[in-house]
Amino acid sequence: MTEISTPEQAAATKTAITPRLDHAVINVAGLLDHAQQQFRRLGFQLTPRGHHSLGSSNHLAIFGENYLELLGYEAANEHTRKDLWLAPLGLTGLVWKTQDASAVFQHLQQQNIAGSAPADFFRPVQLNDGSEPNARFRTVPLSAERVANGRSFFCQHLTPELVWRTEWQRHPNGVSNITGFVIATNAPQETASVYAELFGESALSHGPHGEVEIKAGRATVRFITPERATALFGKIPEGENGTARMVALEFATASLDLVRQSLKVGEIAFSDTPEGVVVRAEDALGVALSFRD
């Protein structure tokens, strides 16, 4: 006799979650003014400052498929969202796309890698026509115990039209997307194992230098050794007690000449490499930046 499963049982046995980078978060804490000035000098156009209903504030650099978030707080909100500011300054948020945060939460629970339940919040958005509608989101995190020195979570955009707007997608440096999110770790396989549990082992591939990679839409999330990261990007932030650390972002640009021109205008030091242009972590709020055309 054929056993017939319920829809719920069928869903539980199928991993329908595909890795796709939504955005990268740089924790700037109380340095929002400095952060926005520095990233404009790096050649990014930033959105007007936004203020979340949860108390944090941000500026965004919007690209084609994903975006970069400078996340911090204004003085009056220093004591809200203290959980965020416990993380080190620099790259601390690996954020995945989802159309259904509730389904993701169920899957995380099934895999025993869930953090808290989905949370809803909003952020008023200043548009060019003078209106200020609310951008609305639902987020759901992975277990904090499985992610060192930062957070990994899913973001469901309930109003994506208030984030991906044409007027915000043009950047002086020609950047069109984040193409790489780099995590330095002494044990790439071990650090990446939570994502094998999340997305399935087949989502992970292994590179020639011992790195582990996850194709995530236009971006690739890479787990590499600190030695390899230093060879690629120069001096990088270190995780406390040898823990994994999110250290670098890679970008696609329409032209490396636009990148060089923007950096020269912004008086930012850079290095030309066989692959493209690299900006040191110390010149980008603790995050090494690499640009390729």
Q: What is the rounded distance in angstroms from the CA atom of residue 17 to the CA atom of residue 176?
A: 25
| pLDDT tens-digit readout, 180-233 | 999 999 999 999 999 999 999 999 999 887 899 999 999 999 999 999 999 999
Mean pLDDT of all residues belonging to the chain: 93
pLDDT of residue 94: 99
Q: By percentage, how much of the chain surpasses pLDDT 90?
A: 86
In a 10 Å sphere around its CB, with 0-12 CB exposed, 13-18 middle and 19+ buried, how is residue 166 labelled? exposed
Average pLDDT (100-126) is 97
Spatial separation of the C-alpha atoms in residues 152 and 241, rounded to whole Å: 20
Lowest-confidence region among 8-17, 73-82, 167-176, 263-272: 8-17
Question: Domain segments of the chain: what residues?
Answer: 19-166, 173-289
Superfamily of domain 173-289: 2,3-Dihydroxybiphenyl 1,2-Dioxygenase, domain 1 (3.10.180.10)
Distances (CA, A) of 110 to 15, 33, 227: 10, 42, 36
Q: What is the mean pLDDT of residues 262-272?
A: 99
Averaged pLDDT for residues 167-184: 99
| CATH number belonging to domain 19-166 | 3.10.180.10
Q: How is residue 34 written in tokens?
A: 């400095």
Count of Cβ atoms closer than 10 Å to residue 86 Cβ = 10
Question: DSSP letter at 209?
Answer: T
Inter-residue contact 28 to 70 (CB < 8 Å): yes
Residue 16: which pLDDT band, with cuts at 50, 70 and 90? low
Q: Which of 269, 208, 259 is nearest to 235 (CA)?
A: 269
Question: Mean per-residue pLDDT for 55-59?
Answer: 93
pLDDT for 8:
42
Q: What is the reported pLDDT for 85?
A: 75
Average pLDDT (69-94) is 86
Q: How many helices (H) and strands (E) does the chain have?
A: 7, 16
pLDDT the model gives residue 17? 94
Phi, psi of 209 (to 5 degrees): -110, 20
Q: Do domains 19-166 and 173-289 have the same CATH topology?
A: yes
Question: What is the arithmetic mean of pLDDT over 126-149?
Answer: 95
Report the pLDDT averaged over residues 47-62. Answer: 94
Residue 80 pLDDT more than 90?
A: no
